[in-house]
Amino acid sequence: MIHIKTDHDVTMLRRSAGLVGDVLAEMGRRIAPGVRTIDLDRVGEEMIRDAGARPAFKGYRVGTEVFPASLCISVNDVVVHGIPTDYALQEGDVVSVDCGVELNGYFGDFAYTFPVGEISAENEALLQATKQSLYEGINRAVAGSRVGDVGYAVQQYCEARGYGVVRDLVGHGIGRSLHEEPQVPNVGRRGQGKRLKEGMSICIEPMINRGTAQVTVDADGWTVRSADGLPSAHYEHTVVVRRGQAEVLSSYTAIESALAVARGESSSVKSEADQPSSATGADSGFNRFSKLTAVMPG
């Protein structure tokens, strides 16, 4: 069943997303060549527990497999669900960090893909397109739309650029459970699927490959890789469906400020965090597309 969130629920979900944002911003400060992914996981887990929360992924069970870490850290051809190891990040890697927390009974879950030092133009383009496709999806996540409208927007944006849209994993509702209905695929047909209603909270999370959309799973039961070994990117936001424009609960502002500082740029990145109750992010193209979003009945 799909839960419609009260204002109180949304407040609590925003707090949980805020903790995830703190963790991911810390990742932005730390990610650099030579840093081991297992050490990033340790830092993330400490932050989560210090905040009185619980890492939602650690101990997550699918069948007989239990996820062993607090963060999913997915390097290069790993699409999602990478298990932190003693691998030391290298210049040119792309690394997605997905963080889930349970705070006061409410879940937070979002993700960002980080460049490690200087990355190739091809990988930079992949990251940009994947992030923008997330905003294309968010712009369709309005009351009266359907789940297929969100997937269609993500799919069209990425496939037009020659990328592979992973179909084997999907976004999801979120609330007092990490994964609620509805499923939110990154492909779809306009006007198809469950209708989105005001107050539904969903995670939209495009997983986009530079090459084939096909994926494989390692013997560990978790690590999802692109079948052709080309890099993959993953961005995720948590949003509440509203009339006209979704309310984005998660924010990339602190993450991107941390990255700008790490690059020696100005840290004056202004984005969603400055206007936490609206989707008017500063990420390029977002406002422009938001304004084009039709207010649909229902």
| Nearest-angstrom CA–CA distance, 94 and 116 | 6
Residue with tokens 């997983």: 207
The correct pick among 26, 41, 77, 98 for binding Mg ion (CB under 5 A) is 98
Site mask, Mg ion, residues 119-158, x = CB under 5 A?
----------------------------------------
- What residues between 221 and 280 interact with Mg ion by CB under 5 A? 236
> What minimum distance in Å lies between the beta carbon of 162 and Mg ion?
25
The correct pick among 101, 203, 224, 230 for binding Mg ion (CB under 5 A) is 203
**Segment interacting with Mg ion, rule: CB under 5 A, options 195-203, 219-227, 250-258, 268-276:** 195-203
> What minimum distance in Å lies between the beta carbon of 185 and Mg ion?
13
**Segment interacting with Mg ion, rule: CB under 5 A, options 92-100, 129-137, 215-223, 273-281:** 92-100
Identify whether the C-beta of residue 238 lies closer than 8 Å to the C-beta of residue 24: no
> Total residues contacting Mg ion (rule CB under 5 A)?
5
> What minimum distance in Å lies between the beta carbon of 234 and Mg ion?
8
Nearer to Mg ion, 60 or 152 (CB): 60
| Nearest-angstrom CA–CA distance, 136 and 178 | 23
| Nearest-angstrom CA–CA distance, 120 and 194 | 39
Residues at the site binding Mg ion, with contacts judged by CB under 5 A: 98, 109, 111, 203, 236
